[in-house]
Structure 1
Amino acid sequence: MSLDDIDKPLSKEDETAQTKNGFLALVSKLVFDEKLPVRFMYKTVPAHLNDTGWRMFTGYETPEFLEDEVTNLLPVDVEKMTTLDPSLTELVEYNAGTVWERTPESEGWERVYDFKIPADTVEVEITNDVSEFKH
């Protein structure tokens, strides 16, 4: 990559060339319980081999709802989601770091550039005290 390439927008081919792994997305329970469409989605780094990294939401989730991921986010086959909503088909090809939304009044999906994708927090203790290492 040269300095001239830094400011060039990536082509769709570059945006979808990432190695594909997994088949599951985490999807808000509201999509199924309330029969609401997916209106906001992002792709994070996959959490495990079956995970695509896609997280799909209706836009009506509260912070409290999102805190209880185990109860409120369901692992769903991405293919099932694209069958339920064919507009997702092209979007799920994009790489990690991609964010999309569609507002109720919009015609289609729009790329979002100012959303910070949440990262899993990992607590690590660092010490230089040799006596704290276990054998």
Structure 2
Amino acid sequence: MSLEDIDKPLSTEDETAQTKNGFLALVSKLVFEENLPVRFMYKTVPAHLNDTGWRMFTGYETPEFLENEAINLLPVKLEKMTELDASLTELVEFNAGTVWERTPESEGWERVYDFKIPAEQVDVEITNDVDDFKH
């Protein structure tokens, strides 16, 4: 990549050309329990082979709700989500690092550039003590 290329915006092809894996998205249970539309979504690096990396929310989730992902985020086939809301179809083609939102008063989706996608927390213990290593 040359210096001239750095300031050029990516084409849609560049932003959708990554290898596609998985078929599941993690979706807020509020979408189904409260019959609310997806209004905020982002794509992270997939957590496993079945995962697309997409995380979809209604916008009404509280921090406490989001803390308990195992209960409040449901694995749903991406195909089912695009059947429920056709406006998701083009968006789910984008690469990891992409964030989208639509406010209740807006007509469509807008790209978000200032949201920091959460990284999965991994507890790692670091030591330089050779006696701490197990054989």
**2:10 is the alignment partner of 1:10:** yes
Task: With the length of structure 1 as denominator, give the TM-score of the two structures.
Answer: 0.99
Deviation at 1:126, TM superposition (A): 1.4
Deviation at 1:125, TM superposition (A): 1.4
Cα distance in 2 for partners of 1:30, 1:127 equals: 43
Task: With the length of structure 2 as denominator, give the TM-score of the two structures.
Answer: 0.99
Which residue in 1 is equivalent to 2:61? 61
Cα distance in 2 for partners of 1:109, 1:133 equals: 51
Cα distance in 1 for partners of 2:68, 2:120 equals: 14
2:116 is paired with a residue whose SS is coil
Q: In the TM superposition, what are the counterparts of 1:1-135 in structure 2 within 5 Å?
A: 1-135=1-135
Cα distance in 1 for partners of 2:62, 2:126 equals: 35
Cα distance in 1 for partners of 2:55, 2:110 equals: 16
1:134 is paired with a residue whose SS is coil
Q: What amino acid does structure 1 have at the position aligned with 2:118?
A: P
Q: How many residues align?
A: 135
Structure 1 gaps of 5+ residues are: none
Identical aligned residues as a percent: 87
RMSD over equivalenced CA pairs, Å: 0.5
Q: What amino acid does structure 2 have at the position aligned with 1:117?
A: I
CA displacement 1:71-122 (0-9 Å, x = unmatched)? 1100000000000000000000000000000000101000000000000011
Q: Any runs of at least 4 consecutive aligned residues in structure 1 with deviations exceeding 4 A, and if so which?
A: none
Structure 2 gaps of 5+ residues are: none
Q: What amino acid does structure 1 have at the position aligned with 2:83?
A: T
Q: What amino acid does structure 2 have at the position aligned with 1:42?
A: Y
